[in-house]
Amino acid sequence: MSPPAARPFRKILVANRGEIAVRVIRACRDLGVETVAVFSTADRDALHVGLADDAVCVGPPAPAGSYLHKQNLLAAAQITGAQAVHPGYGFLAENADFADAVERCGLTWIGPSPAAIRAMGDKARAREAAIEAGVPVLPGGPALESLEETAALASEVGYPLMLKAAAGGGGRGMRAVRDRTGLEAALDAAASEAEAAFGSGALMLERLVERPRHVEVQVFGDSFGRAVQLGERDCSIQRRHQKLLEEAPAPLIGPELRQSLAEAALRLAKRVGYSNAGTVEFLVDGDRFHFLEMNTRIQVEHPVTEAVTGVDLVKLQIVAAAGEPLGLPDGIETSGHAIECRINAEDPETFAPSPGRLRRYRPPAGPGVRVDSHGFEGGEMPPHYDSLLAKVVAHGADRAEAISRMARALREFEVEGIRTTLPLMRRIVESRPFADAELDTGFLDRLDGE
């Protein structure tokens, strides 16, 4: 990527907190763009606030009054003279109404068009688009009005099946259903969970794939209708549908499957006229793959793709939003192997959140190691937000070198004052099944069963 002749924007408001706000501010710095941080009263001393050129308090600790408060965020852009808004991930990143409001205020939204966010945000519509683009989908469809109709669709699809929220992801509103007797209770539970999380209780049902691999393709579109793919990531190691570890390229994927995945993702991106960064997620079962969903934002795990492609995806988001061409080849070459471990402020056994003050914080460094974090010694992990503390990314010439560098990095990493998932991540990375790339969504259960 050649640097643009002039800086793409004078000033960008980063409508987020935590490590991703820090990540976006760094990309802005690299581009010579000024930044505005927003923060809640619980985040006054947060790292992103200190790093930004300007900072505006946008509300109380509860996200609804601050990081999700559209008017305060837009007013913060207004009073600081920001020209564009980067939403990060989570919070309002996939909120088409907010993207619309940003544009109506004469600001640039650093992300895909509101229309693309809407089309992919509704799982039923996304599924239709995938079918139209010739991307394989699992048997399924939207849950219907009456229990009888839905039960009829369910027997057509076949058990076991998976219920999911039509309006969102992240494991909320998801239920596996083994047979007809469990259907009604699962529908009720999933619908109320979806209603609470996304404001819509609409559900989809799809045939359940037992212990699939979870592989996703990074795509990127510019404002001239061109889209490229930047290779895939394996995100199979999860607990309760939350990713713990990601790697690129996906191990043990043959060249044919790799190419089919990349082409399918590109077809879908082009079909919906996609611009900016996006991720097409697939369930992979042996040599077969099926469309899962498309995420219309930068992903938490984007650094593994950055490591193997050498492309700064967040910088590219900003440059592309400013209307610059991507300057990338159609089929990008990757180099070596990269792994990311998410270090959460959680009890490593129960996964209960562990907020508090970081009495000690010594992140790892050294060859092939990158840490994206908002942590610092004396800093606070407030209880109100996502528990992600740090992402450790290890890059090596091959997977074995990436693993040994990751193991070294996790051993070096010292955090005291709160509990973290570091012990769990060390156990995963140093395990035999991980070295053998026995990757599927049942990985953690098997490891715990040892």
Partner 1 sequence: MLSNEEVQALIRFVAEERRGGSDLSVEYQAGGVYLRVGGDRSGGSGAPRGVAASTAAASGASPSPAPEEVHAAAASPASALEEVPAAEEPAIEGHVLTSPIVGTFYAAPSPDSPPYVEVGARVEQGQVVCIVEAMKLMNEIEADVSGTVASVVAENGDPVEFGAPLFVIRT
Number of residues that bind partner 1 (CB under 8 A): 36
Within 10 angstroms of residue 89's Cβ, the number of other Cβ atoms is 18
228: enclosing H helix or E strand: strand 227-239
Kindly state the smallest distance separating residue 357's Cβ from partner 1, in Å: 9
Number of CB atoms found within 10 A of residue 81's CB: 12
| CB of 41 or CB of 83, closer to partner 1 | 41
Instruction: Using the rule CB under 8 A, give the single segment among 33-41, 224-232, 302-310, 422-430 that binds partner 1.
Output: 33-41
Q: Which is nearer to partner 1, 72 or 223 (CB)?
A: 72
Binding pattern to partner 1, positions 34-73, x when CB under 8 A? x-x----xx-xx-x-xxxxxxxxxxxx-----x----xxx
390 binds partner 1 (CB under 8 A): no
The dihedral built from the CA positions of residue 361, 366, 369 and 372, taken in this order, carries a sign that is: positive
Our CA dihedral for 198, 203, 206, 209, rounded to 10 degrees, sits at 40
Catalytic residue, from 118, 213, 233, 297: name it. 297
Least separation in angstroms between residue 42's CB and partner 1 is 7
Answer for which of 348, 376, 430, 438 binds partner 1 (CB under 8 A) is 376
Residue 104 vs 432, nearer CB to partner 1: 104
**Which residue's entry shows tokens 């407030």?**
382
**Rounded Cα–Cα distance for residues 105 and 109 (Å):** 10
- Tell me whether residue 160 or residue 382 sits nearer to partner 1 (CB atom): 382
76 belongs to the binding site for partner 1 (CB under 8 A): yes
The smaller minimum CB distance to partner 1, of residues 60 and 171, is found at 60
- 267 burial via Cβ count (<10 Å: 0-12, 13-18, 19+): middle
Cβ-based neighbour number of residue 427 at 10 Å: 17
191 binds partner 1 (CB under 8 A): no
Tokens of 87: 């939403």
The answer to whether the beta carbons of residues 190 and 164 sit under 8 Å apart is: yes
| Catalytic residue set | 297
Binding site for partner 1 (CB under 8 A): 34, 36, 41-42, 44-45, 47, 49-60, 66, 71-76, 78-81, 105, 376-379, 382
